[in-house]
Structure 1
Amino acid sequence: MTTVLVLRPEPGATASAARAEAAGFRAVTAPLFTIAPVDWAPPTEPVDALMLTSANAVRHGGPALALFHDLPVHAVGIETAAIASAAGFRDVRIGPGDAAGLVAALPDGLRVLHLAGREHRPALPAQGLRRIVYAADPVTALPDAAREALAGGAIALLHSARAAATFAALVETAGLSRAGIAVAALSPAVAAAAGIGWRRCAIAGAPDDEALFRAANCR
């Protein structure tokens, strides 16, 4: 049975691990980030819609999110859209799966409010506003669970460019060889952030877990 190493923050790590096991993999979770809310104030300017590039903006946005429940929401992908709908947003549109594509697909002239992470700040349209509502702080060393899984041949799943770059740095700090590690990346941009030299770097054909699992399982 193929083992995959899930590195994304909780609760996404547990959700991805459950999907991986349902798909026939053994899953090990070792989140590389901890997520915490950041105090924020809604803008005084009127906005036409929200833009969400991470489900964590909904999970950690706090009570002020209710002020925007009647606005259209442009969510980066299926998971973020589902979390937004469950949180009470009534008009949720699913984007292409990456932040740059989501911004490019926004209607011209839309006054969008981007609820973002401290380190997740894609370019905004001319009339866009942004509020930082959460922070993702990286671990300082590769978790023991990750080291053990990699030693056993686990394939590391890279869900974001920041996770890919952080994983690569932690592997180097741990003194591990990239040549002995296989990774699967959610997109070409994520693969680029991971860098070169891995034993294998597979790229998902779509920005979702199921495609990532298929990429991981390719030999």
Structure 2
Amino acid sequence: MTDSLPLIVTRPEPGNAATVERARAMGFDARAMPLFAAHAIDWSPPDPGDFDALLLTSAFAATLAGPGLAGLASLPVYAVGAATARAAEAADLTVTKTGSSDAQRLLDDMTSENIHSILWLCGRDRSEFGAPGAAITTLLCYAVEPVEVPAEWDALIAAPAVLLAHSARAAQRISQLVGAARAHLSLVAISPAAAASAGDGWCDLAVAGHPDDVAILAQARALWHKGAK
């Protein structure tokens, strides 16, 4: 994209590098600006016979879970998006369904399929979801922590740019960091929840059509074309 605005990718590694590579292949001037880092935490797998299904709302649950994940391989996996599904399959899990919206919609689909006991392998910081008629057991296997803001951050947000928020927590931190500069910045959120966490006052605020990297970059490209007119 000739004369494209910088595209600021804030997600943790290893996803950051993958998004930057994909964005540059699309012609974006993509900049790696991770605001968080993910790491594994100790956990022990429960008896899989106590559950009907395994819920994964982040690829980190599959990539950072470690050897304990093998103890849950008998459970059908419900993954919130394509990237999470790919990570689950790479970890030798069986993905029964890949969601096309958000975690709440996926949970609604699960309960409609008479899944009553759900094991949610998740991170320390997470959203809360309801599933009437079902019991959700949370099992923490990773944590995502804020890291120091990259040195180039202030210079990048001083001029128009497009930022990507791959989670509600990321959108909230981006919002806090940019402050009044949001008036000349555009943000693409991976979900409606992430967009809500970003607040108001942006030059443009858009939501990906699906909770995955392909959709968030497609929405960023749509914003670029809008600004180029």
- Whether the TM-score (by the shorter chain) exceeds 0.5 is yes
Q: CA deviation at 1:152?
A: 4.5
Q: Quick one: percent identity of the two aligned structures? A: 41
* Alpha-carbon distance between aligned partners in 1 of 2:130 and 2:140, rounded to the nearest angstrom: 14
* Alpha-carbon distance between aligned partners in 2 of 1:38 and 1:16, rounded to the nearest angstrom: 25
Query: TM-score when scaled to structure 1?
Result: 0.90
Q: CA deviation at 1:124?
A: 4.8
Q: CA deviation at 1:180?
A: 2.1
Q: Which residue of 1 aligns with 2:150?
A: 143
Letter in 2 for 1:31: P
Deviations, residues 128-169 of structure 1 (Å, cap 9, x unaligned): 2110111111135x3223323323532101111110001111
* Alpha-carbon distance between aligned partners in 2 of 1:66 and 1:98, rounded to the nearest angstrom: 26
RMSD: 1.8
Contact 2:100 2:210 in 1 (8 A): no
Equivalent position SS for 2:152: helix
Of 118, 124, 135 in structure 2, the residue corresponding to residue 112 of structure 1 is 118
Of 14, 17, 39 in structure 2, the residue corresponding to residue 14 of structure 1 is 17
Q: Which residue of 1 aligns with 2:191?
A: 187
* Alpha-carbon distance between aligned partners in 1 of 2:153 and 2:80, rounded to the nearest angstrom: 28
- Report whether the alignment pairs 1:168 with 2:171: no
- Report whether the alignment pairs 1:36 with 2:39: yes
Q: CA deviation at 1:24?
A: 1.4
- Report whether the alignment pairs 1:131 with 2:131: no
Q: CA deviation at 1:188?
A: 2.3
* Alpha-carbon distance between aligned partners in 1 of 2:84 and 2:213, rounded to the nearest angstrom: 13
Distance 1:207 1:66, change over 3 A: same
* Alpha-carbon distance between aligned partners in 2 of 1:210 and 1:90, rounded to the nearest angstrom: 23
* Alpha-carbon distance between aligned partners in 1 of 2:194 and 2:104, rounded to the nearest angstrom: 13
Contact 1:50 1:74 in 2 (8 A): yes
Q: CA deviation at 1:4?
A: 0.7
Extract unaligned runs of 5+ from structure 2.
Answer: none
Q: CA deviation at 1:198?
A: 1.2
* Alpha-carbon distance between aligned partners in 2 of 1:81 and 1:6, rounded to the nearest angstrom: 22
Distance 1:121 1:193, change over 3 A: closer
Between stretches 41-50 and 74-83, larger displacement belongs to 41-50
Contact 1:150 1:181 in 2 (8 A): yes
Equivalent position SS for 1:177: helix
Between stretches 180-189 and 53-62, larger displacement belongs to 180-189
Contact 1:167 1:194 in 2 (8 A): yes
Q: Which residue of 1 aligns with 2:55?
A: 51
Query: TM-score when scaled to structure 2?
Result: 0.86
Contact 1:84 1:92 in 2 (8 A): no
Extract unaligned runs of 5+ from structure 1.
Answer: none
- Report whether the alignment pairs 1:73 with 2:81: no
Letter in 1 for 2:9: V
Give runs of aligned pairs for residues 75-94 of structure 1, distance below 5 A. 75-94=79-98
Q: CA deviation at 1:32?
A: 1.0
* Alpha-carbon distance between aligned partners in 1 of 2:37 and 2:217, rounded to the nearest angstrom: 24
Q: CA deviation at 1:80?
A: 0.3
Contact 1:29 1:145 in 2 (8 A): no
